[in-house]
Every structure is written in structure tokens, then in C-alpha cells.
Structure 1
Amino acid sequence: MRSLHIELRSETVSADEAFSRISDFERYPGLVDEVRDVTVRTREDGHLVSDWEVFFRNGPLRWSEIDYVQPDRRRIVFEQLSGDFHMFRGAWTVTPVNHGSCVRFEATFDFGIPSLTGILDPIATKVLKEGIAIIVYSLLGGATVIGDPAVEAAVARKVGVTEEPARVLTR
């Protein structure tokens, strides 16, 4: 089982607006090549279920998750209902910072293949962190990765930033 987190800060998008943009999962396929499809539907109890298809290691990775959207807390907690992971769960949290916002994504996952954990988990961690960072960067019209220079550099390469990437913030 592997856990990860990534944080990005926007100085220009408020926490409420950032949360609204982050919550729009169906926009994600247009923001990053790896996310092929996201379909969101509402259950009778009001919670969302989202179906995901992501390109990973030369093939599709698919799952359905329940999404507990908590707008008053600017938080989305999710957990896989079915799919290719043995277990996948986590949360999005958006907090106000000065006039902007801080977006935190955290996840714990397990592919359920112990013999490949050493190979798959680091690759999946890298793909998830970079993909989430690019999505947040795109949704917010720019953002700074906090405390992860490798992800900051990957975002700069993938979004075509020609100048030096913004300084990586530390806590």
C-alpha cells in the first residue's frame, strides 16, 4: 500500500473558486492526456459516483469511486467502489491562503499485486502526483507546487513554461 500527497498554491484564485473548479471532474480529460474519460452521476442519497479511465503503463486503468463532496469544508473524500485497484481512496482539500488558495490532494492505493509493488507503486505515485499537479495548474490558471521540486519541474516541462519554474515553496 502506498500513500502520497501533493500541494499547490495559487495567489490569485480564492479557495471557494478553486474548490468549484477542482470539483468539476468531467473537465479533467481536457487538461491532461493520461485522463481519458470521467463520467459523474448523482446517487439517490445525493453523493456522486465518478467513473474514471486513465492511461497507465501502456493501457487503461479503470475504476468507479464514490465522492463525498463537502462544499462547506471545501473537501472531497473519495473511495473506490470497483475497478482495477485493490484499494484506492483519498481526499481533496482546499484552504484559503492570503487572497488565494492551497489545494491538497492525498491518496492511498494498492494494486493488490505484492510481487510488483516495488515496480508499480513508484511509477503510479509519479504519474498521480504529476497528473494532479498539471490538472490543478490548468484549472487555476497557474499554481506553485509546494515542497516537491521534481513535480514542479515536470509541470513546467509539460505545460510549456519557457522561463525558470517558480520557486518551490517550503512550509
Structure 2
Amino acid sequence: MPTIDFELTIGAPPEAAWGTILDVESYPVFMESVLTTRLGRDDGAHRVSSWEILLKGAVLRWTEDEQVDHGAMRLEFTQTEGDMEHLEGFWQVHPVSARSVRVQMLIGFRIGIPLLADMLNPIAARAVEDNSKSMLLGLEQRLEHGTVLPPVKGAR
């Protein structure tokens, strides 16, 4: 199963970074590839969210189960239904100082076409890696500059 692990140091207080990561419904405002997000059930430690993202011109949809550890500033997710055969990972905020964090995003996935996995996995891994970097850079822009993106063409 391909795994993507990407980290970015951001000049923001840990609590601000954590709060922004938890606010998944605002992602389409500052993450170019995220078309829609909807937060369903949320009891503080366990949530369910639905996603639509643009990945290399294709729209991917899924629903994920999220485990939230506020003390560790870690959000773990697992796809419960959607376009991938398997999708899981986490967001983690690592405080560096009172005004700086290292945000880590790890994603493991399986596209679900075994006969073509050797050919498609490297292509999909590159697309997921590019998308992960884009999401973290959007988070950085939001936290450091308050950036808001114009609506994405084709978003619902």
C-alpha cells in the first residue's frame, strides 16, 4: 500500500494550527484541491466527514471516520466508503515554539485494481503526494496570511 508522509513548518501558534485542521468545512476556502467537505457526527473525540477533492482532474469522493486526540493534536482518519479501496492516515500538529508548528500529514491508500497496481500505484502516489503538499501549503497560507481562495470552477 503506497504511503505519503509530508511535513511543513508553519509560523502559527499550535492552538491556531490545530483549530484550523479541525475546521474541515472551511478547507474549500483555502485548499485549492478540496471542492466540498461536510462534517456529520461530531462528539469531540469521534467524527464523520464527507469529502470531494479534485485529484489530477478527477473528482474523488469519500466518507471518513475520524478519531480526534485533542491532547496530542492528532486527527486519524479511515475511509468508510468511497472511491478508493482503502484510505487512511492522520494529521498531526507538532509544536516547535509558541509561534511555530510542524504539521504532518500521512496518507496510506490502495486504489483497488490489483492487476494494474504495479503500474498505477506510482502514478497515484505522485498525485496524492502533490495533493497533500497543496493542502499543507493552503493551510500555511491560511494561518500565516489569512488567505481565502476564489471558488473553484466546478465545485458544488
Does the alignment reach a TM-score above 0.5? yes
The code of the aligned residue for 2:104 comes to R
Identity of aligned residues (%): 29
RMSD, aligned CA: 2.4
Question: Structure 2 CA distance, aligned partners of 1:108 and 1:56?
Answer: 15
Contact 2:45 2:69 in 1 (8 A): no
Question: Structure 2 CA distance, aligned partners of 1:91 and 1:132?
Answer: 11
Unaligned stretches of 5+ in structure 1?
144-158, 160-171
- Cα deviations by residue, 1:58-83 (Å, 9 ceiling, x for unpaired): 43211100011111110001001111
Contact 2:32 2:135 in 1 (8 A): no
The code of the aligned residue for 2:87 comes to F
- Cα deviations by residue, 1:83-121 (Å, 9 ceiling, x for unpaired): 111111111111111331000111111011022323432
Contact 2:56 2:127 in 1 (8 A): no
- CA change 1:45–1:32 in 2 (3 A) is closer
- Cα deviations by residue, 1:26-50 (Å, 9 ceiling, x for unpaired): 1222223332111111157962111
Question: Structure 2 CA distance, aligned partners of 1:35 and 1:45?
Answer: 23
Aligned counterpart, 1:42:
41
Unaligned stretches of 5+ in structure 2?
144-148, 150-156
Aligned counterpart, 1:32:
31
Aligned counterpart, 1:15:
14
Aligned counterpart, 1:139:
139
Question: Structure 1 CA distance, aligned partners of 2:26 and 2:128?
Answer: 17
Question: Structure 1 CA distance, aligned partners of 2:126 and 2:70?
Answer: 28
Question: Structure 2 CA distance, aligned partners of 1:39 and 1:123?
Answer: 28
1:104-115 correspondence to structure 2 within 5 Å: 104-115=104-115
Question: Structure 2 CA distance, aligned partners of 1:58 and 1:78?
Answer: 24
SS in 1 for 2:31: coil
1:1-171 correspondence to structure 2 within 5 Å: 1-10=1-10, 12-42=11-41, 47-98=46-97, 99-141=99-141
- CA change 1:16–1:109 in 2 (3 A) is same
Contact 1:28 1:35 in 2 (8 A): yes
- Cα deviations by residue, 1:4-26 (Å, 9 ceiling, x for unpaired): 1000001x202221111111111
The normalised TM-score by structure 2 is 0.79
Question: Structure 2 CA distance, aligned partners of 1:2 and 1:134?
Answer: 18
Q: CA deviation at 1:57?
A: 4.5
Contact 1:94 1:102 in 2 (8 A): yes
* Structure 1: 4+ residue segments shifted above 4 A: 43-46
Question: Structure 1 CA distance, aligned partners of 2:114 and 2:29?
Answer: 33
Q: CA deviation at 1:142?
A: 7.5
